[in-house]
């Protein structure tokens, strides 16, 4: 959901200022509320970032305030601008220094220029033509034989028969690529550069070991300025375990356990890497916050899919599987259990999906699910975090009944939930 789509989709997230302090973007399978304030991007007319209308998700708790998120997608186009000229006739004395500027240094001791030099050969710009549009994004080479991971929304226009080309960093040659597997629910897709071997690839890091405050670097085809010349930004991990919901004209999806960062993320960055201080990929840049309902602009709030999530999906993507969402709906807002949550609120389990709120009138509400419950299994399948709940429910159908195994305080309970229908996005 970000870097390479002709239309930017509004994402609705909820920032919790009270217990469990997390961004919770909506019930699993629940569409976001209408976003009334588009974000203004001065002088960048070709980039369409108008949030699309979405649906009400029902009653919320007092923990929540609402913020709009934008998928960082880029429509092909140019930037308007001008050059400033000088009338200096050379008579003014100027003091100059020819020393090279100092390189920014990361906590690992690695300089950002050296990190970029090492990683950039594994980054590609992606161009997609299809359905009457031309979209741009970013991808990461993950194997020598040309497999590239990116966001599903970057290549969505090619699903119906469009074309995909990639341009490697430092090159101007567009190479044809083939779509291998798609996962719209988790917003991850796999493509392969045709007839290539011996390519450099990124190294995956350990996103499970991240802590708030860790240094990060983002690389991507920001604004689609020029294929093969990615933009580099730096920041920190601002928060972990965020949940955001993205909506389009045809669907909505909830992304769980996202990494929040203040590293600048812009249209065209989608599918690009969020790197740790060692240059290892710990996330895939996907969305950026837009504005609050009152029109106040959010600042420096971007989101990336953890690399641990991406790794868990690669086997099915490589096999050519495409995930189909049947729009089953539980009616809960969830986030992954973390050590800090467990320590702060005294949870008795170390893994699972914490229920942040329950939507009134939903199957979860009828079954008696409560705020603060921890979902540890669905039917016979254990749940390690919010990602597992999303994946397990997405393949089910409205009307199906599931057994949620939960922990409430020190008590283990089993609740039967009849799934509803996800509201249209």
Q: Domain locations in the chain?
A: 1-73+105-321, 328-421
Q: Are 292 and 38 in contact (CB under 8 A)?
A: no
Average pLDDT, the chain: 76
Q: How confident is the model at residue 72 (pLDDT cuts 50, 70, 90)?
A: low
Residues 343/332/10/133 CA torsion (nearest 10 deg): 110
Topology of domain 328-421, CATH: Pdz3 Domain (2.30.42)
Encoding tokens for residue 255?
């992304």
**Four-residue CA torsion sign, 254, 260, 265, 270:** negative
Inform me whether the pLDDT recorded for 321 exceeds 50: yes
| Mean pLDDT within 19-34 | 33
Long-range contacts of 387-392 (CB under 8 A, 24+ apart): 387/186, 387/256, 387/257, 387/309, 387/312, 387/336, 388/353, 389/28, 389/256, 389/330, 389/334, 389/353, 390/28, 390/185, 390/186, 390/254, 390/255, 390/256, 391/185, 391/186
- DSSP of 104-165: PB-TTS-BHHHHHHHHGGGEEEEEEEETTEEEEEEEEE-STT-EEEE-HHHHGGGTTT-EEE
Which pLDDT band holds residue 416 (cuts at 50, 70, 90)?
Answer: very high
| Mean pLDDT for the stretch of residues 97-101 | 68
Query: What is the predicted pLDDT for the residue at 291?
Result: 65
Q: Which residues are catalytic?
A: 153, 187, 270
Distance CA 70, CA 153 (A): 12
256 vs 37: which has the higher pLDDT: 256
pLDDT at 234 over 90: yes
Band of residue 253 on the pLDDT scale cut at 50, 70, 90? low
Cα→Cα distances 25→125, 245, 348, 394, 397, Å: 29, 5, 25, 17, 22
Distant-in-sequence, close-in-space partners of 70: CB < 8 Å, separation ≥ 6: 8, 9, 10, 11, 39, 49, 51, 287, 288, 289, 290
Name, in order, each residue with C-beta under 8 angstroms of 109's C-beta and a sequence gap of 6 or more.
none
CATH of region 1-73+105-321: 2.40.10.120
Bridge partners, 127 (sequence order): 136, 165
**What's the gap between Cα 190 and its chain centre?**
15
Q: Where are the beta strands (DSSP E) in 186-250?
A: 188-193, 215-220, 231-247
Least confident of 178-182, 216-220, 225-229: 225-229
* Per-residue confidence (pLDDT) for residue 166, from 0 to 100: 94
3-state secondary structure of 222: helix
Lowest mean per-residue pLDDT among 57-71, 159-173, 220-234, 383-397: 57-71
User: What tens digit of pLDDT does each residue of 278-319 get?
Assistant: 999 999 999 887 766 677 777 888 999 999 889 989 999 999
Angle formed at CA 281 by CA 275 and CA 285, multiple of 5 degrees: 70
Mean pLDDT for 233-246 is 84
Count of CB atoms within 10 A of residue 128's CB? Answer: 29
The shares of helix, strand and coil residues in the chain, as percent rounded to the nearest 5, are 15, 35, 50
Tell me the two tokens of residue 173. Answer: 């040659």
How many beta carbons lie within 10 A of that of residue 170, not counting itself? 11
């Amino acid at each position: 959901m970000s870097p390479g789509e002709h239309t930017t989709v509004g994402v609705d997230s909820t920032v919790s200022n009270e217990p469990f302090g997390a961004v919770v973007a909506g019930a699993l399978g629940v569409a976001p509320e209408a976003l009334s304030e588009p974000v203004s991007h001065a002088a960048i007319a070709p980039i369409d970032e108008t949030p699309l209308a979405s649906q009400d998700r029902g009653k919320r708790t007092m923990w929540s305030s609402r913020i709009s998120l934008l998928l960082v997608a880029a429509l092909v186009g140019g930037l308007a601008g001008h050059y400033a000229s000088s009338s200096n006739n050379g008579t003014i004395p100027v003091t100059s220094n020819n020393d090279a500027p100092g390189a920014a240094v990361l906590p690992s001791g690695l300089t950002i220029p050296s990190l970029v030099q090492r990683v950039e050969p594994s980054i590609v710009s992606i161009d997609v033509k299809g359905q009457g549009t031309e979209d741009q994004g970013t991808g990461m080479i993950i194997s020598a034989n040309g497999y590239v991971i990116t966001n599903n929304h970057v290549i969505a226009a090619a699903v119906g028969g469009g074309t995909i080309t990639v341009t490697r960093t430092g090159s101007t040659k567009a190479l044809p690529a083939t779509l291998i597997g798609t996962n719209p629910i988790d917003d991850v897709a796999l493509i392969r550069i045709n007839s290539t071997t011996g390519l450099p690839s990124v190294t995956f890091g350990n996103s499970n070991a991240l802590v708030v405050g860790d240094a990060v670097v983002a690389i991507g085809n920001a604004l689609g300025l020029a294929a093969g010349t990615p933009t580099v930004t730096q920041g920190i991990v601002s928060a972990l375990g965020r949940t955001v919901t993205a909506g389009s004209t045809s669907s909505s999806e909830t992304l769980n356990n996202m990494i929040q960062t203040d590293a600048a993320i812009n249209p065209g960055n989608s599918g690009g890497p969020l790197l740790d201080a060692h240059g290892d990929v710990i996330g895939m840049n996907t969305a950026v916050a837009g504005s609050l309902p009152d029109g106040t602009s959010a600042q420096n709030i971007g989101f990336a899919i953890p690399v641990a999530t991406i790794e868990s999906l690669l086997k099915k993507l490589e096999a050519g599987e495409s995930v189909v969402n049947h729009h089953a709906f539980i009616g809960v807002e969830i986030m992954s259990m973390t050590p800090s949550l467990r320590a702060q609120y005294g949870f008795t389990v170390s893994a699972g999906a914490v229920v942040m709120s329950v939507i009134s009138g939903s199957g979860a509400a009828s079954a008696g699910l409560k705020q603060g419950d921890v979902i540890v299994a669905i039917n016979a399948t254990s749940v390690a975090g919010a990602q597992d709940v999303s994946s397990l429910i997405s393949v089910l159908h409205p009307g199906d009944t599931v057994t949620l195994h939960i922990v409430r305080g020190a008590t283990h309970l089993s609740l039967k939930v009849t799934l509803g229908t996800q509201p249209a996005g």
